[in-house]
Every structure is written in structure tokens, then in C-alpha cells.
Chain A
Amino acid sequence: MSTLLKINQIQHCYGNHKTFDDLSFDLQKGEIGCLLGPSGCGKTTVLRCIAGFESLTAGQISLNGVAVSDSHFSLPPEQRRIGMVFQDYALFPHLTVAENIGFGLHRSPTQERKQRVIDMLKTIGLIEAADRYPHELSGGQQQRVALARALAPRPDLLLLDEPFSNLDITLRERLSQEVREILKNQQITAILVTHDQGEAFSVADMIGVMHQGKIMQWDTAYNLYHRPANRFVANFIGQGVFLPGKVLDLGMIEMELGVLSKDIYHHCESDQEICPIGSEVEILIRPDDIVYCPESSTQALITHKAFRGAEILYTLKLASGMTVLSLIPSHHDHAIGEKLGIRLEADHVVIFSKALLTYHSNSQFSAWSE
């Protein structure tokens, strides 16, 4: 695999406002990357810089080893061979589906163009809609046409700006799977921008979590969830709570739910293997780390429950007053106010140094994907 896209310490400003600063990541050929973050974090602007619609104030973007953007120079968008799918699809309303898809092939000979359009229509399964106009299509169909139009000229890189946000939830899941299949089959390198982590997980190979114009972690979905690099990522990805703990002898950590041995945790924010004895830490506990155990000595009070089908997500209050979340098979149906025996069962947890700001500790949070 070779590096297709290299983003090197780029910076962008709207007037005096820095949209993002010192942002870097690489993308390998054939890989699908994703910028994930709350709205307003600057992720769409990154995409527009890569496409060439915005210029940089510092840093460099190179494509196939050739610089396309830096602070003095910006290759016009039409010369970059970068395809883009816009959030609102931006289909040309005066052209049919086939004409929309063939639009970027204006330099190819007629016969070749026709064949490519037919191939693309087959790929997206809309061959029968070739002569229809965009306003006659459903949202999902429009989305697929937008994808086909961007892919038709065989771009080196495809950019997708919140491509599923205008669709309803069920369609969103199905289409994101479909899009990933199409991209993988055609070995397209792509970058997706989204605020929805479910979408990011189902489409992307590598995900960059963005916050206030910075990439907090560039990693696989597994690592973002299980090995978050910092507190923001831990908070943003998935659900969980922070419980306080104290470092004992031999790197063991004591906490309300038991004692953790050295080999099942790692410290996220420092490289130290062992924290100083007696130092206070916080342990990230995910809902699936806590299991039902009637005979356990730890009894917790149910304060909240949310039925999820196979499981019930219980919000539980521990003796100390701390709150944890637990995902328990739904045949263990208990009422709010009852006590539940629980046990910590984790292969691996992450710990953080104790937060300086008190509101961080034991703040219960729910993920954006809800």
C-alpha cells in the first residue's frame, strides 16, 4: 500500500477565526477514512480544503506525492481528480439521472461515456431510472445517483460530506453498508465526514475524531472504543462512566467494584507503565464491562432503565453514590427501585489521571449516536 493523501500540519482561517490548526493525517490507497466530530468542529472545511474549494493559510496537502495545496498555491478543483458527494447531493435538476452521471465524462468519447454511465447505473442498481429527473427520485436514490456521478470519472479520491444525514435512520444503515461495498469493490480511496459514529464505524477503516479544529485520535474503530487516546475520545465514542480508583502496590488499582491487576488496564494519557503508588486515577467503565450476578456482594439500586430488545440498559447507583451503566440480557427484567447484584467483568479497561475538573468524575454520558 502506498500513501495517497498526505495532510501535513494544515491550517485554515475564516477571517480572523481559525477553523482548524496543525492538522495532520495520511490515507493509504484503497483505504476509507472518516472525520468524525460534532457539528461545527471544522470537519467539512477540511474536506473542502482537500477538494480545493478553500485555500490553506499554513501546511500542505499532497496527493500521490504531489503538492496540491499549501499557503501560496492551490491547484484548481477541476484539476485534482477528486470526486465529491455533497450533503444535499446537489444533483443537477435540469438533467436526467443518466445525464447527471455522465456529466463529468465530458472529455471521453461518446461510446465510452455511454458504457461508463450504464456501468455506474448497474452498480447503484438504478438502471431503470436512467431517464428520470432528480425530483422524481426518493432521497436514497438521489444519494446513490450523487455517488455514481462522483465515481464515474474514476477520481483518485472520493470525498463524502455527511452523505447520509438527509436520510431516515433505517435507510441510513442500509445505504452506508451499500456504499462501503461499492467503494471496496471498486477499490476507491475515500474520506467521509460525519457526526454519526454508527455511520463512521460501518463505512470507514480509519477514523479521526475531531474536536475544536484538532484531530484527537486517528485510529481504527476498535481502538477508538477500547483504547481511547484521551478523555474527549473516551467521552465521545460509545457510552461509559468514569469511576475513581487508587493505585496500590504492584500497580494494582483498587476501586469500588474490586481490584484491577496491572495486566488488564493501560493508562491512556501517559506512557508510564505503573502509576506512582497512592496516586488517584479514574477508570473508564463501559456498560458491557458490568455483568449481572445475583450472588455478588455488590448490590446496586436501579434508577433508570431503557429497553433495547436483546438487552436492557440499566442505570445503577452504587453504595458510594456513584452511577454506572450496565447492559444486561433483557430476560433479567427488574423494576426501577429494585436492587441488582453486579460484577465487573472486563478483559481490558483504560484509566486516566484524576480529572482536575470535578464535573468530569463520574459524569454519566450518553453517546451522540443515540
Chain B
Amino acid sequence: MKNENYFTKGDKTVDPPQTFFHLKGAANIWRIIPFLIAALILIPIAVVFSSVFMPANDVWQHLVETTLLTLLINTFWLALGVLTGSALLGVSLAWFTAVYEFPGSRFFSWALLLPLAIPAYVTAFVVLGLFDYTGPIQTNLRTWLGTELPWFPDLYGRSGVILVMTLAFYPYVYLMARNAFLTQGKRLLEVAQSLGLNQRQGFFKVSLPMARPWIAGGLMLTLMETLADFGTVAIFNYDTFTTAIYKAWFGLFSLPAASQLASLLILIVFVVIIAEQQFRIRMRYAETKRSARVDRIALSGWRSSAVACFAASVLFLAFILPIIQLSIWAIQSLMESFDQRYFEFLFHSVLLSAAATLITCFAALLLVYAARLYSDTTTRIAVRIATIGYALPGAVLAVGIFIPVVWVDDLLNAWWLKLFQVEIGFLIQGTLGVMLIAYMTRFLAVGHYPIDSAMQRITRNIDEAAMGFGLTGWSILRRIHLPILKTGIFTAAALVFVDVMKEMPITLMTRPFGWDTLAVRIFALTSEGEWEHAALPAVTLVMAGLVPIILLMRQTDK
């Protein structure tokens, strides 16, 4: 996560392409590509925004009067709760594993990332199933006590959602903060000590303030995920903007109202995006060299046991317990779930993910090459816009893409009717193509980052050195670029594939009728409380989700 600034390219000259794209006509195409891709993102944003100015219709009026205040309050408390929880868990765990030696510290330093493999909505239904009145915990407590329980925490509510999302999202803060603490190294803490501060004072006066941009960056990612989340809040029946958009569209059948809700959500998201950019810029200034020594301070006695217990219980709650419960359910329901239809869902998921991965990585490669050929300001802005989709909630994108699609469909229909007096029905909406474009806009940043980092390693001098040996055009591409970019492309593909597989709101809202995937299946089953039957698809998603986590772990040092 070191070179996260997309701004600073190796060299900033705007010379005409000196590399292997010598064709004059081709150069112009490369100039346009970033703008075309950026437009794909800007259209849904513009569509959703424009609905702010739409005349208020009845449905919207109804929503404003009945639910809007609740949505705002719910969103506010959810965001506050998840941010607080993730900050506490993420920063403390990052500090312990980066600086101290305690039993299992090496294990925990990578294992604490594992919860990222479980989609939040899976953790959600596992927690609900576990702590339900009929769930194993309450049932066992009742038989053990031989009486009704006088009181049991009610997880169907704000605290439950906050708990689940904190357990699911704290690794973002953990990852960023740990990276910051590791790059600081022990050195600055030693400086603080040589200036008369003890270790605790050193943490609060040096390490924590220095890690602030990273921690804030991690928190902004967490906030984006929280605002974008659909599955978790749907399972908890905790209404936020994403579920309200879904209900307005599929419950009240009002796409305009959904769009107006989406425009409010996008306003909130924009504030977050701007904040995140600011922190990212500050991270660059505060960056220090990674110190060569990674020896950690040994904790002794009760402190080391306390820290180990803390790390273990977080890992247990966020990963081990859900996995155990999922496995039990999956085995129990194996006979019923493991049928023809399971393979159909799996096939749909894999097909969609593979196709989306292909076009996303292709678009990312185009972007990276275009930015390599032209590194002027406008191109760089276009690239940034093109990769902003990671911040847009899937529900917003779904609405923003669907509205213009419906519009084009209607237009085509009208023309056809005028010309041939025949109804052709809808050509575009409800096709996989719409879904794939939505996925690409959402996950382009995920695919762009690893490929872009790999490209940073191919300097212009490398190209020129290759040309000095008489290589040209395609042979440079094949013999120099491809081998260097290979791992970057592979990482990008793995990340996008898994993200699409876990994706819920876009799939749910734009899929062709009856085209169910594993994620959609989980949504359908959990909305009826059938936790056990949702376990097998969930286990499948978790196993896929482990792939990018393993990739990530290989990058972080142990």
C-alpha cells in the first residue's frame, strides 16, 4: 500500500509517445480512452444527481414524511458506532502486533486479516442465528438453567448491526494502521525514550499522531463500506439508504424515488471521498523509510497474556466462531442444499465474476497504458474519476445505470414502433451486459491499483533500453511488459473476481429475471430466516474470499 498516490507518476513529461505505439492515429485513441471510461462513471452519478432537481412525486413525498428522518438517524448512529468500534479494535490490534512480542504475535499479525474473507452479510446472519431465541446459545442456556432467561441482549437492533460491521470492517483500519506503525519502526519510539518519555507516552505523543493519516484513511474506507452496505442492514431489518433505495424501487415500484434517495446518499459519500483524498495526500508527506530492524519489544507477564487473549477473542468472534457455525449448518443442510440448483447458482456466480473480471482488468490495462503515454493533468484527473467507483454504493450505481438504460430502451422501442409498427420489447435492460458495466464501474479501482503499481516498475528507460537492443512494438510488450505486469494482472483478477462474487445490491437490482447467484440466494434465504440453508452458499463465498486475503498476507510481512 505504499505508492498509493495515483498522482505521482514516474515522469511527468507530456512528450508524444516515445515507446512502442508509434502510429499517429492510435495515439489519439489512447488520449480518449481515460475520458470514455470516466464517462461511464460520470453518467450514473449525473443521472442520480439530476434527480435532486426532479419535481417531488407522491412516493417521494410519502418517503420524506415517513422514513427520511429515520434513515438519517439510523445512518448517523451506524456510521458513528462502526467507526468508533473499528478504530478501537483496528488501532489497538495494529499497535500490539506491530510493536510487541507476545505469545502468537506473528500468527495474529496475519490472522487478524482473515475476517475480511467473510462478507459482512454472512457474519450478520451467523450472529443472528447464533444468538436467536431458537439459536444454540439461548437454547443451551435455557436447558442449563432450566428456566426462561430473564434477560438476553437483543441483537436485532442498532447494537447488533454495529457489532457485526465492526467485526467485519475493523481489518481495514488494522491493515492501514499496522502499515503505519511498521514504517515508523521502533526508531521513533527510541527517540522519544532518549528524550525522556516512557513507552506509553511515546505511543500517545509520537506513534499515534504520526499514524493519524493512515488511521483516518482506514476509517474512511470503513465508512465507505458501511454506507455502501446493503446485505447486513437488510438482514437486520435496520433501514438505511441502501435498503430504502431497494424498497422504493422493488416495493413501491418508483425508480424516481429510489434515485432521489440515492442522490442523498451520494452527497454523503462525496464528503467522505474528499476527506479520504485529503488524508491520502497527507500520508505522502508523513511517510518515513521502513526501518531495517523489525525486532519487537517483548511483553512480559500478565501484559503479554492479556494482549494475546484480546487478539484471540477478536479473532474468535470475527472469524473462528462464524466459520464453525457455518460449517455446522452447511453439514446439517448438505443433503437439501447440495442439489442441482446449487450448481446453477454457483455457475451463475462464476460466470458473472469471470466475465466482469475480464472486462474490468482489460479496462484497467487500457487506463494504465493511456496514463503512461499521456501524463498530463487532464488525463490524470480522468483516471482518478474512472477509479472513484469503489466509493459509490452498489445500490446507487444500480439505480444510476438502470435509469439511462431504461431511457435508451424506451427510445429504441419508440423508433422501432414508428418504423415497423411492431413492439420489440426491452433490448438492453435485464441483460447481463448492464450488470457487467455496473460491476466494472464499481470495481475498476480494485483492478487498477495492482496493475498500476506493477506498471510503475517499467520505467521509460527500460523501454528505451529494450529498443536499444533492437526490440520493437509487440516484442517489447511480450518480452518486457507482460512478464513484469503478470503478477499485477493476476492479483487484480483475483481481487475483482472475489469482489464481484460477494457483491449483493447491484446483482440483486439489475439481474435478469430469475438469474440467481450465490449472493442473491443468501439474500433470499436470510430474509426468511433460513440461516441453515444459506450456509452452503456462504461457505462457498468465504472460501473464494480467502484467495485475496492470502494474496494480501503475502505482501504484509509476518
Residue-wise, chain A 1-33 has the 8 Å CB interface mask toward B (1 for contact) of 000000000000000000000000000000000
A201 at interface, CB cutoff 8 A: no
Q: Which residues of A contact B206 (CB under 8 A)?
A: 92
State which of A82, A103, A135, A159 has its C-beta within 8 Å of the C-beta of B285: A135
CB pair B188–A90 under 8 Å, yes or no, is: yes
In the bound complex, CA of A107 to CA of B187 (Å)? 22
Q: Which residues of A contact B251 (CB under 8 A)?
A: none
In the bound complex, CA of A78 to CA of B196 (Å)? 4
Q: Which residues of A contact B210 (CB under 8 A)?
A: 92-94
Number of residues in B with C-beta < 8 Å to the partner?
Answer: 22
Select from chain A the residue with minimum beta-carbon distance to B194.
A84
Select from chain A the residue with minimum beta-carbon distance to B191.
A90
Query: Could you tell me the distance in whole angstroms from the C-beta of B191 to the nearest C-beta in chain A?
Result: 5
Q: Which residues of B contact A133 (CB under 8 A)?
A: 285
Q: Which residues of A contact B190 (CB under 8 A)?
A: 51, 53, 77, 84, 86, 90
CB pair B285–A83 under 8 Å, yes or no, is: no
In the bound complex, CA of A88 to CA of B209 (Å)? 20
In the bound complex, CA of A93 to CA of B210 (Å)? 8
Q: Which residues of A contact B188 (CB under 8 A)?
A: 90, 92
In the bound complex, CA of A76 to CA of B289 (Å)? 26
Q: Which residues of A contact B197 (CB under 8 A)?
A: 78, 106
Q: Which residues of B contact A244 (CB under 8 A)?
A: none
Instruction: Find residues 270-305 in chain B having any chain A CB closer than 8 Å to their own CB.
Output: 285-289, 291
Query: Could you tell me the distance in whole angstroms from the C-beta of B45 to the nearest C-beta in chain A?
Result: 35
In the bound complex, CA of A150 to CA of B291 (Å)? 20
Q: Which residues of A contact B209 (CB under 8 A)?
A: 94
Q: Which residues of A contact B192 (CB under 8 A)?
A: 78, 103
In the bound complex, CA of A133 to CA of B286 (Å)? 10
Query: Could you tell me the distance in whole angstroms from the C-beta of B54 to the nearest C-beta in chain A?
Result: 46
Select from chain B the residue with minimum beta-carbon distance to A95.
B209
B67 at interface, CB cutoff 8 A: no
A195 at interface, CB cutoff 8 A: no
B332 at interface, CB cutoff 8 A: no
A213 at interface, CB cutoff 8 A: no
CB pair B288–A83 under 8 Å, yes or no, is: no
Instruction: Find residues 120-167 in chain A having any chain B CB closer than 8 Å to their own CB.
Output: 133, 135, 149-150, 153, 159
Provided the pairs A88-B187, A92-B188, A94-B210 are in contact, do residues A83 and B195 lie with their beta carbons within 8 angstroms?
A: yes
Select from chain B the residue with minimum beta-carbon distance to A89.
B191
Query: Could you tell me the distance in whole angstroms from the C-beta of A175 to the nearest C-beta in chain B?
Result: 20
In the bound complex, CA of A172 to CA of B286 (Å)? 26
CB pair B288–A93 under 8 Å, yes or no, is: yes
B237 at interface, CB cutoff 8 A: no
A104 at interface, CB cutoff 8 A: yes
B198 at interface, CB cutoff 8 A: yes
Instruction: Find residues 22-48 in chain A having any chain B CB closer than 8 Å to their own CB.
Output: none
State which of A86, A88, A104, A135 has its C-beta within 8 Å of the C-beta of B196: A104
CB pair B194–A82 under 8 Å, yes or no, is: yes
Q: Which residues of A contact B285 (CB under 8 A)?
A: 93, 133, 135
In the bound complex, CA of A239 to CA of B390 (Å)? 64
Q: Which residues of B contact A93 (CB under 8 A)?
A: 210, 285-288
CB pair A78–B289 under 8 Å, yes or no, is: no
Select from chain A the residue with minimum beta-carbon distance to B198.
A78
CB pair B196–A84 under 8 Å, yes or no, is: no
B61 at interface, CB cutoff 8 A: no
Query: Could you tell me the distance in whole angstroms from the C-beta of A32 to the nearest C-beta in chain B?
Result: 18
Q: Which residues of B contact A76 (CB under 8 A)?
A: 193, 198
CB pair A94–B286 under 8 Å, yes or no, is: yes
Q: Which residues of A contact B187 (CB under 8 A)?
A: 86, 88, 90
Q: Which residues of B contact A94 (CB under 8 A)?
A: 209-210, 212, 286
Q: Which residues of B contact A159 (CB under 8 A)?
A: 194
Q: Which residues of A contact B288 (CB under 8 A)?
A: 93
Residue-wise, chain A 66-87 has the 8 Å CB interface mask toward B (1 for contact) of 0000000000111101111010
In the bound complex, CA of A150 to CA of B196 (Å)? 10
In the bound complex, CA of A96 to CA of B195 (Å)? 16
CB pair B289–A84 under 8 Å, yes or no, is: no
Residue-wise, chain B 43-87 has the 8 Å CB interface mask toward A (1 for contact) of 000000000000000000000000000000000000000000000
Q: Which residues of B contact A92 (CB under 8 A)?
A: 188, 191, 206, 210
CB pair A104–B195 under 8 Å, yes or no, is: yes
Residue of B188, B194, B210, B212 contacting most chain A CB atoms (<10 Å): B194
In the bound complex, CA of A236 to CA of B291 (Å)? 30
Select from chain A the residue with minimum beta-carbon distance to B292.
A88
State which of B195, B198, B212, B289 has its C-beta within 8 Å of the C-beta of A149: B195
Residue-wise, chain B 204-216 has the 8 Å CB interface mask toward A (1 for contact) of 0110011010000
Residue-wise, chain A 233-267 has the 8 Å CB interface mask toward B (1 for contact) of 00000000000000000000000000000000000
Select from chain B the residue with minimum beta-carbon distance to A48.
B190
CB pair A83–B289 under 8 Å, yes or no, is: no
Q: Which residues of B contact A78 (CB under 8 A)?
A: 192-198
Q: Which residues of B contact A88 (CB under 8 A)?
A: 187, 289, 291
State which of B196, B212, B289 has its C-beta within 8 Å of the C-beta of A153: B196
CB pair B286–A86 under 8 Å, yes or no, is: no
In the bound complex, CA of A82 to CA of B196 (Å)? 9
State which of B194, B205, B212 has its C-beta within 8 Å of the C-beta of A51: B194
Select from chain B the residue with minimum beta-carbon distance to A53.
B190
Query: Could you tell me the distance in whole angstroms from the C-beta of B137 to the nearest C-beta in chain A?
Result: 46
Residue of B196, B197, B206, B286 contacting most chain A CB atoms (<10 Å): B196
Query: Could you tell me the distance in whole angstroms from the C-beta of B180 to the nearest C-beta in chain A?
Result: 11
Q: Which residues of A contact B191 (CB under 8 A)?
A: 84, 86, 90, 92, 149
- 7 shortest interchain CB distances as A-B pairs: A104-B195, A77-B193, A84-B194, A78-B193, A90-B191, A90-B187, A78-B196
Provide a sorted-by-A list of 21 A–B residue pairs whose CB atoms are within 8 angstroms: A53-B190, A53-B193, A77-B193, A77-B194, A78-B194, A78-B195, A78-B196, A83-B195, A84-B190, A88-B187, A88-B291, A90-B190, A92-B188, A92-B206, A92-B210, A93-B288, A94-B210, A106-B205, A107-B196, A135-B285, A150-B195
Q: A52-B193, A53-B193, A149-B195 are in contact. List 5 more A-B contacts (CB 8 A).
A: A86-B191, A103-B195, A106-B196, A133-B285, A153-B196
Q: Which residues of B contact A (CB under 8 A)?
A: 187-188, 190-198, 205-206, 209-210, 212, 285-289, 291
